């Protein structure tokens, strides 16, 4: 089941038979983790939401939720091979997000990247 999940993320991120570049794999990874460890993933989603409220930055929120997940699995379940899998699979998502993160950090100060500038300037919400 773990290898099928990894294959799904890789196939979603780099499709061979379809003529487009593919997705970033975050939703696919979240779905796999939700099937494998639903309680741990619920806690990770709570972490994502708690980060999303002040920052309004979905990429940062997903990163922190995925970062917490291997520690949650190791701490609550004691299954270190599964915790290792939970740490390695999101790295594929990180590979797909690198160009976006580099562009965001190069074009704006870190404070504006982390905290949504749209909300601060009053243009939205």
Q: What is the pLDDT of residues 26-41, one digit of tens each?
A: 888 889 999 999 999 9
Q: Is 125 among the domain residues?
A: no
Residue 90: partners with Cβ closer than 8 Å, 6 or more residues away: 29, 66, 67, 69
Q: How many domains does the chain have?
A: 1
Domain range spanning residue 6?
2-12+24-114
CA dist 112 and 103 (Å) reads 13
Domain annotation covers residue 124: no
> Could you tell me if residue 90 is inside a domain?
yes
Q: What is the pLDDT of residue 125?
A: 46
* SS3 category, 24: coil
Structural domain includes residue 62: yes
Q: How far is CA 70 from CA 17, 29, 75, in A?
A: 32, 13, 8
Q: Is the pTM of this model over 0.85?
A: no
């Amino acid at each position: 089941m773990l290898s099928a999940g990894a294959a799904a993320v890789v196939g979603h991120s780099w499709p061979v038979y379809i003529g487009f570049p593919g997705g970033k794999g975050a939703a696919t990874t979240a779905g796999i983790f939700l099937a494998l460890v639903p309680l741990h993933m619920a806690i990770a989603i709570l972490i994502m939401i708690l980060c999303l409220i002040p920052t309004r930055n979905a990429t940062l929120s997903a990163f922190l939720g995925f970062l917490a997940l291997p520690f949650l699995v190791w701490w609550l379940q004691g299954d270190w091979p599964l915790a290792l899998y939970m740490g390695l699979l999101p790295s594929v998502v990180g590979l797909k997000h690198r160009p976006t993160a580099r562009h965001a950090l190069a074009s704006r100060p870190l404070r504006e990247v982390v905290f949504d500038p749209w909300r601060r300037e009053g243009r939205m919400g």
